[in-house]
Amino acid sequence: MSEGHSGGHHPEPQPYAALRTKAIESLLIEKGLLSTDAIDARVRAYEQDIGPLNGAKVVARAWTDAAYKERLLDDGTSAIAELGFFGAQGAEIVVLENAPAVHNMVVCTLCSCYPWPVLGLPPRWYKSDAYRARAVIEPRAVLQEFGLALDESVELRVWDSNSDIRYMVLPERPEGTDDMDADALAALVTRDSMIGVAKVAAPSPTA
């Protein structure tokens, strides 16, 4: 269940470690020490229960509580832990605030470092060679492909996550949400908006 890091700074990609993990997993299953159900349940927990719902709660709290937002931007790890979210792959989380004139997006150019406690497991595209390379070389084109056309006047900052620091984006609160409470706001926040490849859409007007 590791990302392939053996500790310390970015190691070289480790196909060996991945293969070894797979082999150990197969052996444990064969010997009846581990069930595929148990593995699936843990993966599901990271995909569905742990994130990105946790991140959405963090964002909604920051949108509705100015003091919390200040703590979050000052020390992401501690402010996120206040809400009970911490653990594997979340040693140091730095939160980056998007604003009308500044857009932040996150990548891990060398592997797939990602803030698990708030976002769960990274999506497949985040781990792809194409995203990892192009997010740095032509970030605006990548955003365009995600459906986000940034105005030329907006400063775009690309952050490279690593095994020591993992980034999470605090997206802009959309228009038309003044009456919404934190729970309703959290439901609007998407995983992609917290990676910085999308904005949070305004709620569609109810009939």
User: DSSP assignment of 185-205, as one string?
Assistant: HHTT--HHHHHTSSPPPPPPP
Size of the site for Fe ion (CB under 5 A): 3
Among 93, 106, 111, 121, binds Fe ion (CB under 5 A): 111
What are the phi and psi torsion angles at 2 (to 5°)? -100, 165
Residue whose pair of structure tokens reads 């949108």 in the numeric block: 63
113 tagged catalytic: yes
Q: Which stretch binds Fe ion (CB under 5 A): 67-75, 104-112, 151-159, 165-173?
A: 104-112
Give the span between the Cα atoms of 129 and 83, in whole angstroms. Answer: 34
| Interaction between residue 113 and Fe ion (CB under 5 A) | yes
Give the span between the Cα atoms of 77 and 166, in whole angstroms. Answer: 10
Give the span between the Cα atoms of 93 and 76, in whole angstroms. Answer: 5
| Interaction between residue 108 and Fe ion (CB under 5 A) | yes
Q: Which stretch binds Fe ion (CB under 5 A): 54-62, 97-105, 110-118, 150-158?
A: 110-118
Minimal distance, residue 112 CB to Fe ion, in Å: 5
Give the span between the Cα atoms of 98 and 101, in whole angstroms. Answer: 8
What residues are paired with 167 via a beta bridge?
94
Between 85 and 167, whose beta carbon lies closer to Fe ion? Answer: 167
The residue from 26, 112, 161, 163 that is catalytic is: 112
108 tagged catalytic: yes
6 tagged catalytic: no
Active-site positions?
Answer: 108, 111-113
What residues make contact with Fe ion under the rule CB under 5 A? 108, 111, 113
